[in-house]
């Protein structure tokens, strides 16, 4: 029955994919033939994007670039600000909220706003012009999720593709997840295979490179996620640190996610002995009063002697500014920071060569020059503050990150 139903769905969606693909093909050709204009700028522009719908790690890889170049150059990050409730150009500042600039730009500003400029604008050309007007000494602009925004001609285009979701095995929307044909890979200068397994072998890399079938000028790289210690979403309400390794099979964790593909996030917690329950919302979800009440109910019903709520960095941004979040739960809400680890050295050097700044290439590996702020979304307590105990936890189950 399922097989028959899948065939029916495929028969219905395949013609729609053809129509969608023809529209995208025509649009791309209009750029290729110069009918639609592409604009270049006097400052190097690095575009980070993908050709699939969501989930390849655009923002973490944007943060990786910022963390490596934020002290060597004067850098700005420009995003569309997806699902924000404002329009036009907005420069992030200490008064910004996710509603004003979007959750991902807010996340980047929170972590790197002391070292780089962060702005949003749905029209990237307008946004770049405004950034250059405000900061004429900028040396690099990084566009987050702009591979399809072809009105801007990037100096270096970085394309991301997931290890477990290869683009050559996918289909165009709505039958598959592709925003445009796999031929669009040819526009990339650098291709990064993301979310690779920890034990990736040389043979795996070789097979992936063969599948990508890149041209000689294109450089492939591989990356994976690394999970750091938990950070409180409400640090002023949480004067202690919880270590996942200290929790036991008698304890419980409620995972709250609002991201495109939560399985990688959820899988990380499957290695621990504690009980795990998952509450999933759509990507970029705007938590309502009803949603917050559901989180409270799930937490109260969660089995375990000691219980916490863990969410993603992106969801933490929205929860921290949510007016409906109950005060009594704030001490028990944490987010799981992730960082990108490039398996092969040379990614940043490739970008610097691409933008004509080989003079900034370091002698060693691609070491970070800007450390992200990981202390939550309000001022964290000083280290001299008494760390206290999580209610129900023994003292030896609490440790600093």
Helix H or strand E encompassing 233: none
Checking if the pLDDT of 240 tops 90, the result is: no
- Counting Cβ atoms within 10 Å, is residue 301 exposed (0-12), middle (13-18) or buried (19+)? exposed
**Averaged pLDDT for residues 17-43:** 97
Q: Give, as one character, the DSSP assignment of residue 286.
A: -
Dihedral sign for Cα 233, 239, 242, 248, please: negative
Q: Which CATH architecture has domain 231-336?
A: 3-Layer(aba) Sandwich (3.40)
Specify whether the backbone of 215 is left (phi greater than 0), alpha (psi in -120 to 50) or beta: beta
Q: Which residues of 88-118 are buried (b: 16+ CB within 10 A; e: fewer)?
A: ebbbbeeebbbebbbbbbbbbbbbbbebbbb
Checking if the pLDDT of 390 tops 90, the result is: no
Structure confidence at residue 54 (pLDDT): 78
Structure confidence at residue 35 (pLDDT): 98
Rounded Cα distance, 361 and 72, in Å: 10
Q: Which residues contact 21 (CB under 8 A, 6 or more apart)?
A: 172, 180, 181
Dihedral pair phi/psi, residue 183, rounded to 5°: -60, -20
The CATH fold assigned to 45-227+340-360 is Rossmann fold (3.40.50)
**Averaged pLDDT for residues 160-168:** 93
**Averaged pLDDT for residues 316-333:** 96
Structure confidence at residue 372 (pLDDT): 76
Helix H or strand E encompassing 227: strand 219-227
Q: What percent of the chain has a predicted confidence (pLDDT) above 90?
A: 81
Structure confidence at residue 244 (pLDDT): 95
Checking if the pLDDT of 326 tops 70, the result is: yes
- Which is it for strands 45-49 and 140-144: parallel, antiparallel or unpaired? parallel
Rounded Cα distance, 114 and 125, in Å: 24
Checking if the pLDDT of 150 tops 70, the result is: yes
Residue bearing the bigger pLDDT, 329 or 365: 329
Q: At what angle do helices 58-69 and 103-112 cross, to 10 degrees?
A: 20
Structure confidence at residue 239 (pLDDT): 76
Q: Which residues contact 25 (CB under 8 A, 6 or more apart)?
A: 181
Residues 16, 120: contact at Cβ < 8 Å?
Answer: no
**Averaged pLDDT for residues 198-202:** 91
∠ Cα 113 115 119 (to 5°): 45
Residues 257, 281: contact at Cβ < 8 Å?
Answer: yes
Structure confidence at residue 375 (pLDDT): 52
pLDDT in tens, 241-265: 899 999 999 999 999 999 988 988 9
**How sure is the predictor about 187, in pLDDT bands with cuts at 50, 70 and 90?**
very high
Reference 192, options 355, 343, 365, 356; nearest CA is 343
Q: What percent of the chain has a predicted confidence (pLDDT) above 70?
A: 90
The token pair that represents 205 in the structure block: 């890399």
Dihedral sign for Cα 36, 42, 44, 46, please: negative
**Averaged pLDDT for residues 44-60:** 93
**How sure is the predictor about 394, in pLDDT bands with cuts at 50, 70 and 90?**
very low
**How sure is the predictor about 396, in pLDDT bands with cuts at 50, 70 and 90?**
very low
Whose tokens are 């969608």? That residue is: 20
Scanning 229-387, the segments in alpha helix (DSSP H) are 263-269, 289-301, 313-320, 347-354
First-last CA distance in the chain: 51
How is the chain split into domains, by residue range?
45-227+340-360, 231-336
Please, what is the average pLDDT of the chain? 89
Structure confidence at residue 1 (pLDDT): 52
**Averaged pLDDT for residues 258-282:** 93
pLDDT in tens, 367-385: 666 767 655 655 333 333 3
Structure confidence at residue 7 (pLDDT): 79
Structure confidence at residue 260 (pLDDT): 86
Helix H or strand E encompassing 5: helix 2-32
Residues 352, 361: contact at Cβ < 8 Å?
Answer: yes
Checking if the pLDDT of 223 tops 90, the result is: yes
Dihedral pair phi/psi, residue 266, rounded to 5°: -65, -40
**Averaged pLDDT for residues 151-166:** 96
Rounded Cα distance, 266 and 282, in Å: 15
The 10 Å Cβ neighbour count of residue 365 is 12
Residues 22-28: contacts with CB within 8 Å, 24+ apart? 24/172, 24/179, 24/180, 24/181, 25/181, 27/150, 28/150, 28/180, 28/184
Dihedral sign for Cα 176, 178, 179, 182, please: negative
Structure confidence at residue 374 (pLDDT): 55
pLDDT in tens, 87-127: 999 999 999 999 999 999 999 999 999 999 999 999 999 99
Scanning 33-179, the segments in alpha helix (DSSP H) are 58-69, 98-101, 103-112, 124-134
């Amino acid at each position: 029955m399922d097989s028959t139903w899948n065939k029916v769905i495929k028969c219905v969606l395949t013609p729609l994919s053809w129509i969608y693909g023809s529209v995208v093909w025509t649009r791309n050709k209009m750029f290729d033939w110069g009918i639609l204009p592409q604009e270049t700028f006097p400052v190097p522009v690095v575009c980070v994007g993908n050709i699939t719908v969501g989930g390849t790690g655009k923002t973490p890889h944007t943060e990786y670039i910022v963390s490596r170049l934020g002290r060597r150059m004067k850098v700005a990050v420009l995003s569309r600000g997806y699902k924000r409730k404002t329009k036009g150009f907005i420069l992030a500042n200490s008064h910004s909220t996710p509603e004003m600039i979007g959750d991902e730009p807010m996340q980047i500003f929170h972590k790197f706003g002391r070292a780089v400029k962060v702005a949003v604008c749905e029209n990237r050309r307008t946004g770049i012009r405004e950034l250059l007007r405000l900061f004429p000494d900028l040396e690099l602009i990084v566009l987050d999720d702009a591979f399809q925004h072809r009105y801007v001609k990037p100096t270096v285009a970085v394309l991301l593709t997931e290890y477990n979701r290869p683009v050559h095995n996918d289909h165009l929307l709505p039958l598959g997840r592709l925003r445009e044909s796999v031929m669009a890979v040819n526009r990339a200068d650098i291709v990064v295979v993301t979310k690779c397994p920890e034990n990736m072998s040389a043979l795996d890399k070789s097979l992936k490179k063969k599948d990508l079938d890149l041209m000689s000028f294109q450089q492939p790289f591989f990356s994976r996620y690394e999970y750091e210690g938990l950070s409180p979403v409400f640090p002023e309400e949480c004067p202690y640190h919880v270590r996942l390794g200290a929790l036991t099979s008698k304890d419980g964790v409620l995972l709250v996610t609002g991201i495109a593909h939560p399985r990688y996030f959820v899988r990380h917690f499957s290695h621990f002995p504690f009980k795990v329950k998952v509450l999933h919302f759509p990507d970029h979800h705007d938590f309502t009063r009803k949603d917050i009440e559901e989180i409270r109910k799930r937490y109260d019903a969660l089995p375990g002697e000691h219980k916490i709520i863990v969410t993603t960095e992106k969801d933490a941004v929205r929860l921290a500014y949510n007016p409906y979040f109950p005060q009594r739960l704030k001490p028990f809400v944490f987010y799981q920071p992730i960082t990108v680890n490039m398996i092969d050295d040379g990614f940043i050097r490739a970008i610097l060569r691409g933008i004509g700044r080989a003079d900034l290439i370091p002698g060693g590996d691609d070491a970070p020059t800007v450390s992200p702020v990981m202390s939550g979304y309000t001022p964290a307590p000083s280290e001299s503050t008494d760390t206290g105990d999580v209610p129900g936890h023994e003292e030896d189950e609490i440790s600093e990150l």
